[in-house]
Amino acid sequence: MNVSRKPFLNLSTSCLLFALGLFNTAALAQSADVAAALAHPDRPAEDAAADAVRKPAEVLAFAGLETGMHVLELEAGGGYYTEIMSRAVGSEGSVILHHAPGLMQYNDGGIDRRTANNRLTNVRVSLTNFDALDAADNSIDLVTWMQGPHELGFAPQGESLGDPEASFREIVRVLKPGGVFLAIDHIAPDGAGLEAGGTWHRVEESVTTAMAEAAGLTVLRRSDLLENPDDPLNVSVFAPEVQGKTSQFMVLYQK
């Protein structure tokens, strides 16, 4: 009996092509060249001076930053990380430099300096509270909040910067399925609660994680990279003995 082998060959070929497609997709995802961004000749000297403490290469490797990513940087501050991520994600990627209007008094012109004369062409500035993010649903690969979740317990001049639960729901809304959220903040002592954000400008990791998980995120990994055992935790981050060298948690969550 002469049985045709063609259907089996087609099935095998289809499986092979599918596998090759997965391989090619994986191959296209490349780690961002953070080292080149750090060494860029236009990078401000004061930024480079902060690298030893802030450890940007290790932080962004932990976050899994890749070329072509679309990043929402919550509370970008003076733009230290904006500059690095803008160059690292490349022309196919983008960075939304976000800042809450109620915190602009602490910005000291950093946003204007970073974006003057369109020097970072893939960066867009967005000024909103944390619970009203200016990004489309399922559009962001990575949300970062460097030294920031504690702001949800802070109300400058009595003005809220955003409802805590709604703010985390917004992070989940803008993230793509599988997208990640990097949270770094000054560690508060156990039991301090969200209120520590308004006094010591700190927050417990457990408080941040509880809000993240309630919004639908899961913990992907944690790191002790930025922890400092000499920080007593129960003082303001602006106290001379700890300013610039606080103990910080670092957690990556996934949608």
Which pLDDT tens digit goes with each residue over 143-165? 999 999 999 999 999 999 999 99
Q: Is the pLDDT of residue 168 over 50?
A: yes
Q: Sorting pLDDT into bands at 50, 70 and 90, what band is 111?
A: confident
Q: Indicate the pLDDT class of residue 241, thresholds 50, 70 and 90.
A: very high
- pLDDT over threshold 80, residue 100: yes
Residue 17 lies in a domain: no
Domain that holds residue 34: 30-254
Residue 167 within a domain: yes
Asked if residue 55 belongs to a domain, the reply is: yes
Residue 2 within any structural domain of the chain: no
Residue 203, in any domain of the structure = yes
Q: Alpha-carbon distance 205 to 74, whole Å?
A: 17
Q: Among 253, 245, 254, 252, which Cα is nearest to 53's?
A: 245
Is residue 142 a contact partner of residue 72, using CB atoms and an 8 Å limit? Answer: yes
pLDDT tens track for 29-87: 688 999 999 999 999 999 999 999 999 999 999 999 999 999 999 999 999 999 999 99
DSSP string, 202-242: -B-HHHHHHHHHHHT-EEEEEE-TT--TT--SSS-TTSTTT
- Mean pLDDT, the chain, as a whole number? 90
Q: Residue 22 — very low, low, confident or very high, per pLDDT cuts 50/70/90? A: very low
Our count of domains for the chain comes to 1
| pLDDT value, residue 104 | 87
- CA gap 76, 215 in Å, rounded: 22
Strand 140-146 with 70-74, pairing: parallel
> CATH number for the domain including 204?
3.40.50.150
Contact 37, 87 (CB under 8 A): yes
Residue 235 domain-assigned (yes or no): yes
C-alpha–C-alpha distance, residues 105 and 102, integer Å? 7
Q: Is the pLDDT of residue 11 over 50?
A: no
Q: Does residue 23 form part of some domain?
A: no
Whether the pLDDT of residue 185 is over 70: the answer is yes
CA of 235: how far to CAs of 148, 201, 209, 245, in Å? 17, 9, 22, 12
Task: Give the whole-angstrom CA distance, residue 124 versus residue 133.
Answer: 13
- Look at residue 139 and tell me whether its pLDDT is greater than 80: yes
Question: What pLDDT is stored for residue 232 in this prediction?
Answer: 97
The reply to whether 24 falls in a domain is no
What pLDDT does residue 29 have? Answer: 64
Mean of the pLDDT values across residues 212-225?
Answer: 98
